[in-house]
Amino acid sequence: MSGATEEAGSEILRVEGLTMRFGGLLAVDAVDFAVQRGSITALIGPNGAGKTTVFNCITGFYRPTGGRIRLRRADGSVAELQRLKDHSIARAGVARTFQNIRLFAGMTVLENLLIAQHLKLQKATGFGIGAMLGLSGYKAAEAEAIAKAVDWLRATNLLDRADDAAGALPYGAQRRLEIARAMCTGPALLCLDEPAAGLNPRESDDLAKLLAAIRDGTATASAPTSVLLIEHDMGIVMRISDQVVVLDHGRKIAEGPPATVRSDRHVIAAYLGEEEEA
């Protein structure tokens, strides 16, 4: 596919000419791609291809040297992500997880999910003073937030661990909790950085099902959410992605449905090395 021929309204994220330069190193060189609404898009490439850099630009952890990143929300409003600070990007509707899990280890699983709903809860407190005196509608807001958290705990099969410290969970459960936490922010686009890293085959299977359910909006009562993921596990990528973007040396070398990308000459060359030219 090519983004230009698609109807603009069906795109949730459009990256145009994204360039990131660290001193003399050109990590990402004029990359264009789009994420369709209600799809799972995978960003793949060999080590050092610039996947995480693209990711950090989209989620605001880096400010790109050049290019535009536009997020089109469900109500039609457009956010120019390259201009926003990281916490404003999260507010604009982009949630992310981290390659090396970043949970609030000493806080309980439930507390982790409530912090994800901080903005909504904070608004309900009336600058903290109302809730302090127990006057405002904060109790109702908190009950609602807990209900949402419980929904996601059920969807990620963590409900019986709700009062345990997040750091005490097994590795696979921490991965799922991080996804649940990202989803509790109510994002339009969920960005996952290697969600299957370190999972066993069964956990990977469950993860694939969870991501499909998030895309379709069947995981909980929340709306369907588009997913952008970086992944090294090709089994998962090929099984669940609707669209695959391949990067190598900071450039996009292929884009399309998994079947097409798999047989692409450039992709095979990037992963397996090029045949020597005669």
Partner 1 sequence: MTAPGKAGRLGAALLDAAKAMLVAFGLFVVMVGLRTDVSSSGALLLRTRWMDVALLCAAVFVLRLAMALWVRPRLPAAGSALLGTGLTRAGLLFGPALLAVALVLPFIPGIGRYELDLGILVLTYVMLGWGLNIVVGLAGLLDLGYVAFYAVGAYSYALLAQYFGLSFWICLPLAGILAAFWGVLLGFPVLRLRGDYLAIVTLAFGEIIRIVLLNWVSLTGGPNGISGIPRPTFFGLPFSMSGGPGTFAGFFGLEPSPSHRVIFLYYLILGLALLTNWVAIRIRRQPIGRAWEALREDEIACRALGINITNTKLTAFALGAMFAGFAGAFFATRQAFISPESFTFIESAIILAIVVLGGLGSQIGIAVAAIVMIGGFELFRDLDEYRMLVFGAAMVVIMVARPRGLVGSRAPSVLLGERRRIDASLVGEGRG
Residues at the contact surface with partner 1, assessed by CB under 8 A: 59-61, 86-88, 90-91, 95-96, 98, 102-108, 110-111, 114-116, 118-119, 121-122, 125, 128, 131-132, 138, 142, 146, 150, 162-165, 167-168, 181-182, 185
Report, in Å, the least distance between residue 151 CB and partner 1.
12
Q: Cα(68)–Cα(5) distance, rounded to whole angstroms?
A: 19
Between residues 124 and 267, which has the closer beta carbon with respect to partner 1? 124
Q: How far is CA 4 from the centre of its chain?
A: 24
Between residues 33 and 138, which has the closer beta carbon with respect to partner 1? 138
CA 121 to each of CA 124, 191, 251: distance values in angstroms, whole numbers, following the listed order:
5, 23, 41
Report, in Å, the least distance between residue 166 CB and partner 1.
8
Instruction: Cite the DSSP H helix spans in 156-255.
Output: 171-184, 201-216, 234-240
Between residues 179 and 253, which has the closer beta carbon with respect to partner 1? 179
Between residues 83 and 118, which has the closer beta carbon with respect to partner 1? 118
Contact 204, 212 (CB under 8 A): no
Place of tokens 């969600």: 195
**CB within 8 Å of 274: residues ≥ 6 apart:** none
Between residues 19 and 108, which has the closer beta carbon with respect to partner 1? 108
Between residues 60 and 64, which has the closer beta carbon with respect to partner 1? 60
CA 94 to each of CA 4, 56, 142, 210, 273: distance values in angstroms, whole numbers, following the listed order:
23, 11, 23, 18, 35
Report, in Å, the least distance between residue 263 CB and partner 1.
36
* 38 φ/ψ sector (left φ>0, alpha ψ -120 to 50, else beta): left
Report, in Å, the least distance between residue 130 CB and partner 1.
10
Report, in Å, the least distance between residue 62 CB and partner 1.
12
Q: Which of 47, 90, 272, 6 is nearest to 32 (CA)?
A: 6
Report, in Å, the least distance between residue 278 CB and partner 1.
50
